[in-house]
Structure 1
Amino acid sequence: MSEQPPAIRLTDPRALRAYAHPTRMALVGLLRLHGPLTATRAAELLGTESVASCSFHLRQLAKYGLVEEAGGGRGREKPWRATAAFTSWDASPADPEQAAATEALQRAVLDGYFARATSWLLHRGTDAPEWREAASFGDSAVLVTAAELAELTARIEELTRPYTERLGRPGPPPEGARAVQLIQLAVPTDTPEGTAP
């Protein structure tokens, strides 16, 4: 797989809404993990979408710069690639239209996390014992300021960077390596001071 830029930042509400579609997020994820894919191969890997559906969604993603043609092939057999290793967006934009689109995207991302975790739980009995032991669920309550939370998030990203960078490197991964999604949620569990619960 060729080197990808680290991130693409979405600011256009239309792009945010386009990316919020579960199939489109799944397609971008597949392209980032497996490299260039045709709509046919993407449909096989997803197992829930037709080739025509994948082809349509890939073209929609291309409109907003999230994927691009990788060269070669024609029609549904042309390969596509992700344009960046990560997608980011403003967490709390001032523009109301962008804020609404961001909220919809964040809900879709959260729904995807839940769906993937639930799917693994339903099938975990068929996974190898070492993977069942290594997979984890849990949480930690911490008392932090906003600045400390931002610092903690940066430190977690630094800790995981060597593993995320493997996805963009050519060559085989370490023996026994599998794609794992680390889900990070850092949300206040109380209400801001002076507001009703």
Structure 2
Amino acid sequence: MDERRDLTGDVAAMRALAHPVRLAVLELLGRDGPLTATQAGRHLAQKPGNMSWHLRILARHGFVVEAPGGRGRSRPWTLTALGHRIEADPGSDEERLAADELLATVADRGFGQLRAWLAARHSAPQAWRRAAVLSDWTLHLTAQETAELRERVHALFETFGDRLRDPGRRPPGAEPVKAMLVLHPLRLPPAP
């Protein structure tokens, strides 16, 4: 399994992934490991045929592959990469539009999950209420410092990537935790 797959330039893959159900499938496979279309459908309230179609599209674009041990209609699927990235400045208009669509879908999903956590957090165990955070900072950084900070945080996140590849490495009590990193200027900087 690759660490992070670079989708820059792959318009078809970006468009294929820019669907809430497909993003949910990738997240589910990362959380629970290989699953069949029927199993994934149960988790996501989707019919097996619909889930099978989404999985085939994800497979066609290299996001999932069949896992070993499948037989007949009971074929589990697994991830091909721990995560994905898109170059900040895609080349063509077509790439920009595909990237914009994918990023908007990812943001909608992530912020929806954050809103769901905020609405339900009072019923979570106290340890999780204390551990979770919604932090808002304003930092004064150059573009280079912002890129360096991004890479340092990504490197820190990646130290836990082995737990996605190998669920046996997850310590007792480990839960899937949504980690979002947003770094952007508050106003559009002038062009050099």
The question of a shared fold, defined as TM-score above 0.5 by the shorter chain, is answered with yes
1:89-168 alignment runs, 5 A limit: 89-168=86-165
Of residues 25, 28, 48, the one that matches 2:26 is 28
Equivalence for 2:13: 15
Equivalent position amino acid for 1:178 in 2: E
Equivalent position amino acid for 1:177 in 2: A
Runs of 5+ consecutive residues of structure 1 not aligned to the other structure: none
1:94 CA drift (Å)? 1.6
Equivalence for 2:65: 68
Query: What secondary structure, in the 3-state scheme, does the structure 1 residue paired with 2:173 have?
Result: coil
Equivalence for 1:54: 51
RMSD (Å) for aligned C-alpha atoms? 1.5
1:122 CA drift (Å)? 2.1
Query: What secondary structure, in the 3-state scheme, does the structure 2 residue paired with 1:163 have?
Result: coil
Percent sequence identity is 37
CA–CA separation in structure 2 for the residues paired with 1:108 and 1:14: 15
User: Is 1:87 matched up with 2:84?
Assistant: yes
TM-score, normalised with respect to structure 2: 0.92
1:172 CA drift (Å)? 4.7
CA–CA separation in structure 1 for the residues paired with 2:21 and 2:122: 26
Query: What secondary structure, in the 3-state scheme, does the structure 1 residue paired with 2:127 have?
Result: helix
TM-score, normalised with respect to structure 1: 0.90
Query: What secondary structure, in the 3-state scheme, does the structure 1 residue paired with 2:112 have?
Result: helix
The 8 Å contact of residues 4 and 83 in structure 2, kept in 1 or not, is answered as: yes
**For each residue in 1:65-117, what CA deviation from the matched residue of structure 2 results, as whole angstroms up to 9, or x when unmatched?**
11111131223x21011111111222221211011000110111100111111
